[in-house]
Amino acid sequence: MQCQTIVLGAGIVGVSTALHLQARGRKVILIDRAEPGSGTSHGNAGLIERSSVIPYAFPRELSRLLRYSLNRQPDVRYSLRYLPKAGPWLLKYWQNSSPAGIAVATRAMLPLVERCVEEHDALIEAAELGDLIKAKGWIEVYRNADAFATAQEEAHALKPYGLRYEILDRQQLHTREVDLSENVVGGIHWLDPKTVSDPGGLTRGYAALFVKRGGQFIHGDARTLRQVAGDWQVDSRQGPISAAEVVVALGPQAADLFKPLGYNIPLEIKRGYHAHYRPRAGAELTHSICDVQGGFVLAPMVKGIRLTTGIEFAASDAPANQIQLERCEAIARKLFPLGERIEAEPWLGRRPCLPDMRPVIGPAAHHKGLWFNFGHAHHGLTLGPVSGRLLAEMMTGAKPFTDPAPYSAQRFN
C-alpha cells in the first residue's frame, strides 16, 4: 500500500497533523495500534488552554523544594526508585526554569497558544462536534487568602498578553458555582479558554472527519518503521505501507522510534491519573475547577465529574499508584460534594515532556522524509491542531504562520 505521507500516532497531535496535510492535498494514512484518542489524548482535563501563556516551570523557591522533597504533596510525587534515572532530566528542567529560561520558553510558545482556540474552532465546526465544547472558560479556586492574593498579582501581570479574566470574591465565586464549599475564599475565572466534555471523543471525531474526507486510518505498529528503497515503510494489519514521508506523532512513545535512529532528544514522561465521580444528589458543577494549591482539576465530563491529578515521576511502565489520586480526592471532597467513584480503577496517562518546555516540531536532521511532532507536555489537547498546522505548512512548502526554529529537534544536538 502506497501513500504520500504516513502519520504515526492517532492522538490529538497525530490526527490534527493528518487533517492539515490532507487539507493541503497530501494523500495520508494515519496509523496507530489502538483506536484514535485512546492514549494520552483520552485522559486530560479537557482544557483548550488559551490562558496558559507561561509554561509550567520547575519550582525554584527553597521552601517549595523542601516540601516536595518530603514526597507528600498532592500535586507532585515521585518514585524513589525512578528518581536517579529522572535526575539528569530534572536538572535540565530546573536550569531552563530560571527567569531568563522562562522568558525564552514563553516567547517560543506564545504563537502556538495564541492560535489554539481558533484552530480547534475550525475543526470542531467541520466535524460537527460543538456539543462537546463549552465557551465558559475555567476557574482557579483558592482555599487560602495569601495564595489568592498572590494569584491576583500574577494574573494582573499577564495583562500585556490580552487575556480576559475576572477576579471573584467568595460570594461571586459561590454565585457561579453554588455547590462549592465555604472553604474557598475566592477564584480567578479565565474566560478565553474553552472546555471539552469528552477529550477522547473529540479526537475520535477529528479522526472521523479525516476518514470522511478520504483519509485512511489503519491499525499498525509504528515500531516496525524502516527505510526501504528510499521510502519509509511500516507494517500494518493490511500489510506493509510505504511513503516518501513519515511523521512521528507518538507522544510518550516517540522515543521508541527516534532513539534507534540516533536522535538524542531528552523526552521524559510525567505520569498523571484521572477518575470519574458522581456528584451527590442535587449537586452540580458547571465550570471546570482547578485547585491550584492541590494541583488537580475537577471537570464536568460526559462520564461524570473527572478529577485529574498533577505530576508523577515514575517509570512509564510501572504499575499505577493511587497515592496521588487519593490525596487529591481527599481535598476535592472538601471542595465539592463528590459522590462515589464510577470506575473501579483509575486511568493512568503519560505526558511527553521536554526540559525546555516546548515541543519538537519539524524535520529530522539526518533522515530525508522524517518529521517530528511530539513533546507537548500538559498541552497536547490545546496545541494539537495548531502544531499540526505548523508542521503541515513546513512539509508542503507553505509559509509557516510563525518561525518554527524554536521547536527544532536540532536544539538538542
User: What does the pLDDT look like over 306-337, one tens digit per residue?
Assistant: 999 999 999 999 999 999 999 999 999 999 99
| pLDDT of res. 413 | 81
Average pLDDT of the residues in 280-304: 96
CB 16 within 8 A of CB 387: yes
Taking the C-alpha atoms of residue 207 and residue 214, their distance in angstroms, rounded to an integer, is 11
Q: Does residue 122 lie within any of the structural domains? A: yes
d(C-alpha 348, C-alpha 43), whole Å? 8
Q: What's the pLDDT score for residue 139?
A: 98
Does residue 347 form part of some domain? no
Closest-CA residue to 362 (of 350, 380, 346, 375):
375
Is the residue at 404 inside a domain? Answer: yes
What pLDDT, on the 0 to 100 scale, is given for residue 392? 98
Does 169 map to a domain? no
Is residue 323 domain-resident?
no
Displacement of CA 263 from its chain's centroid (Å): 23
What pLDDT, in 10s, does the model give residues 64-105?
A: 999 999 999 999 999 999 999 999 999 999 999 999 999 999
Question: Would you state the cell numbers that stand for residue 204, as one nine-digit string?
Answer: 475520535
Which structural domain, as residue segments, surrounds residue 2?
1-52+97-129+198-266+356-413
- pLDDT band at 209, cuts 50/70/90? very high
Q: Which is nearest to 381 in space by CA: 47, 139, 25, 60?
A: 47
User: For the segment 218-262, what is each residue's pLDDT rounded down to a tens digit?
Assistant: 999 999 999 999 999 999 999 999 999 999 999 999 999 999 999
Using one digit for the tens of pLDDT, what is the confidence trace for 262-271?
999 999 999 9
Per-residue pLDDT of 343-356, as tens digits, reads: 999 999 999 999 99
SS3 state at 201: helix
Average pLDDT, the chain: 96
pLDDT at 151: 97
Is the model's pLDDT at 379 over the cut of 90? yes
**Three cell numbers, residue 138:** 475555567
Any domain includes 343: no
**Do the domain assignments include residue 379?**
yes
Residue 154's SS3 state is helix
pLDDT on residue 208 = 98
What is the CATH classification number for the domain harbouring 249?
3.50.50.60
* CB-count exposure of residue 283 (10 Å: 0-12, 13-18, 19+): middle
pLDDT bin (cut points 50, 70, 90) of residue 386 is very high
CB 240 within 8 A of CB 234: yes
pLDDT (mean) for 143-150: 96
Q: How many domains does the structure of the chain reveal?
A: 1
- Rounded to an integer, the average pLDDT of 18-46 is 96
pTM for the model: 0.96
How many CA atoms does the CB half-sphere of 361 hold within 13 Å? 31
The DSSP 8-state label assigned to residue 131 in this structure reads G
> Is the residue at 91 inside a domain?
no
